[in-house]
Chains A and B, each alone.
Chain A
Amino acid sequence: MAPRSKTKTETPQGAGDEDAPMSDAPTSHQPTTEEVDESMADPDEDEAVPEAENEEDMLPEEVQRVRILPGSTEHAASFEFLEEGHTLGNALRFIINRNPDVELCAYAIPHPSEPKMNVRIQTFEGTTAIEALTKGLRDLQDICDVVTDKFVDARQEFASGVTA
């Protein structure tokens, strides 16, 4: 992902007195804990980039962009994805819903100005929410492989048909 925003001010500074109730309000419904702060480190935030950066490792992949939200159990869990949107959210929801062991799967973007995407998974006894998520991600990769293969074949066939 490219840089999306320059700086993020999580708590508005210099809020006027009349705005005091607003500044008391949490910026998100999700409780912020120590662990959250760490995982919320923006991958594009400059501090996250090591000082001595190698020529090749331009993408800092170490940032954890998915976490399990508080209140989750083995069979019913919510996951928070950072810097993801409808592209992955809807595709993931679709594929996880095709899993017969999944009772419910839904996704939401709680607020458009927060780069967060939440996925809710509830499963039957046969599997766990984390397993269902992993299977969904793997199935999507399988789809991509099939699409690539068939696309390349069809393109080849079309090219030979045009020249012939």
Chain B
Amino acid sequence: MSRRRVVIPSEEELERRNTVGIQAEHISNVQATDFPRHYPGEDNSWNINKFRNGFRVQFHKNDPLEASFSLIGIHAAVANAFRRIMIADIPTLAIETVFIENNTSVIQDEVLSHRLGLIPFKGGREGLHSFLKWYKRKPNTATDNLGVSDDHFDYNTVLLRLQVKCTHNEDAAEGERDPRKLYHHAHVYARDIEFVPVGRQARYFSGADAIVPVNPDILIAKMRPEQEIDLSMHMYKGVGSDHAKFSPVATASYRLLPAIKIVEPILGVDAEKFAKCFPKGVIGLRKVTRQEAAKQGSGYEGHEGELKAVVEDPMKDTVSRECLRHDEFNKKVKLGRKMDHFIFSVESTGQWESDAIFLESVAHLKAKCKTFEQQVINMVR
């Protein structure tokens, strides 16, 4: 036999390697071992066609503000890169500078500014993603008396205004106690922020494409008569690694698909108890069929018609490991997680569509690699 014998692992062995073991008090087999020279004789070198054939995407939900999908057949390093990029590297527009003309409300200038910064905004996609560019502060540029430098243009700065004054409502009913009815503008909401288009911005951000808060009902401050807030704001493009307000996602996370393997039959009352160890819908109860009962060594002999526990939908499992606390199930079930099945959940803050954020993260990683490929060439030169 030649020394370069090619070993092809069995399906069973591949499944074992691909499952993180979950025991009552510890986890096992957490590391991927599918790289060259780990298993003698096996070819685990990178092959894009092998990846293409093994990789699948499955959608569970695709709403503008929330998407959920599975990436199957991908490695944690790459899946994690996508997740990290979604959180920290996809640019969004947010309020960065606040110029306060007057603020007599009880909320302090700096606290108010911070609250304003965190409000998510939306607007015309073309304008946001291609027309608007980074704002880069240039050194030694002239500034006006407010300290605003002259490097602000329609393609890098968006101007907003918030001008509200609380007044008495003359029409309020006698004995009214609700400040919102008793006064005008007792509550300042995100919808009170006014977008001031400058230059070409009117072309990209008008009508339905105007820059407005994603949620108009965000409470910014509360006031009483004679108090007022008068300020203007500059919005810039930024990334989440600089400040969380620039992150396009509320959350972007993944979890591994739980794997529940019933090794020995769980029957009758035990089966019902077993199902109760899991969230609804994970474990189903089926009757043992005649064929199963007739089969020798199946463990179902003489149990025809009894209920048995079957795994219905492991995706709904929370991996609480409750079943491992009961001695009757301890030896009969194996819990784990699929190492290459990533269930992503992406919640957008509203400036991007959730699925677009993921696609952008993939494009971002590709662009990064492309840049460095060229840089490596430059480095060698």
Contact = CB atoms under 8 A, between A and B. Distances in A.
A3 interface: yes
Contact of A147 (B44, B55, B62): B55
A93 B77 CA distance: 9
B77 A154 contact: no
A36 interface: no
Contacts of B139: 46-47
A47 B140 CA distance: 11
Interface in B34-92: 35-37, 43-46, 48, 51-52, 55-59, 62, 69, 71, 74-75, 77-78, 80-82, 84-85, 88-89, 91
A159 B363 contact: no
Given A66-B372, A100-B36, A145-B366, A139 B75 contact: no
Contact-residue bracket for chain B: 35 or more
A137 B372 CA distance: 7
B155 interface: yes
Given A87-B84, A99-B46, A100-B37, A49 B376 contact: no
A58 B359 CA distance: 23
Contacts of B137: 3, 46
A49, A88, A147, A154 — most chain B CB neighbours (10 Å): A147
Contacts of A155: 57, 59, 62, 355
A133 B75 contact: no
B242 interface: yes
B36 to A, nearest CB: 4
A153 B52 CA distance: 13
Contacts of A162: 62
Contacts of A159: 62
A90 interface: yes
A146 interface: yes
B100 to A, nearest CB: 22
A162 to B, nearest CB: 8
A100 B80 CA distance: 24
A146 B138 contact: no
Given A61-B371, A94-B75, A150 B136 contact: no
B37 to A, nearest CB: 7
A130 B75 CA distance: 24
Contact of A154 (B57, B238, B366): B57
Nearest to A4: B242
A1 B134 CA distance: 10
B73 to A, nearest CB: 10
A151 B85 contact: no
A64 interface: yes
B59 A91 contact: no
B329 to A, nearest CB: 36
16 contacts: A1-B239, A2-B238, A53-B138, A56-B133, A58-B156, A66-B376, A87-B84, A90-B77, A99-B45, A100-B37, A138-B373, A141-B370, A146-B55, A151-B57, A154-B59, A162-B62
